[in-house]
Amino acid sequence: MGYTNSPLVSYTKLSPNNSGTRTHSIDRITPHCIVGQMSVESAGAWFAKASTQASANYVIGADARVALIVPESQRSWCSSSRDNDQQAVTIECASDKTHPYAFKAEVYMRLIELMTDICRRNGKTKILWFADKAKSLAYKPAADEMLITVHRWFANKACPGDWLYSRLGDVAMKVNAALGAASSVKPENMPEVRQTSTSAKQVLAIGSEESRARFLLDLVHDTDKSGILPSVTTAQMILESGYCSTGLAQAANNCFGMKANLSGNSWESVWDGKSTYTKRTAEQTASGKVYYVTAAFRKYPDVEHSIMDHSCYLLGAKNGSRQRYEGLTAAKGYREAITIIKAGGYATDVRYVDKICSIIERYHLDRYDSQPEVKEPEKTVTYIVQAGAFNSVQKAAERLVKVRKIVPDAYLKYEGGMQKIRAGVFSERANAERVVEQLQEAGIEAIIK
Backbone angles phi, psi at 348, to 5 degrees: -95, -15
> Residue 153 pLDDT more than 80?
yes
pLDDT at 392 (0 to 100): 72
Give this prediction's pTM: 0.46
Neighbours of 184 (CB within 10 A): 6
- Model confidence pLDDT, tens digit, residues 329-351: 888 899 999 999 999 888 878 89
Query: Residue 385 in contact with residue 424, Cβ under 8 Å?
Result: yes
pLDDT at 127 (0 to 100): 94
Average pLDDT in the 358-373 region?
80
What is the rounded distance in angstroms from the CA atom of residue 432 to the CA atom of residue 94? Answer: 18
> Residue 205 pLDDT more than 50?
yes
What is the rounded distance in angstroms from the CA atom of residue 62 to the CA atom of residue 395? Answer: 32
Q: Which of 67-71, 81-85, 316-320 has the lowest mean pLDDT?
A: 316-320
What single-letter amino acid sits at 333? Answer: G
- Opening angle at CA 159, ends 154 and 162, nearest 5: 125
Provide, rounded to the nearest whole percent, the portion of the chain with pLDDT above 90. Answer: 48
Domains along the chain?
A: 9-193 (3.40.80.10), 216-368 (1.10.530.10), 383-448 (3.30.70.1070)
CA separation, residue 296 to residues 220, 277, 279 (Å): 25, 6, 7
- Model confidence pLDDT, tens digit, residues 225-276: 788 999 999 999 999 999 999 999 999 999 998 988 875 556 677 888 889 9
What is the rounded distance in angstroms from the CA atom of residue 130 to the CA atom of residue 307? Answer: 27
- Model confidence pLDDT, tens digit, residues 400-441: 888 888 887 777 776 666 778 888 877 778 888 888 988 988
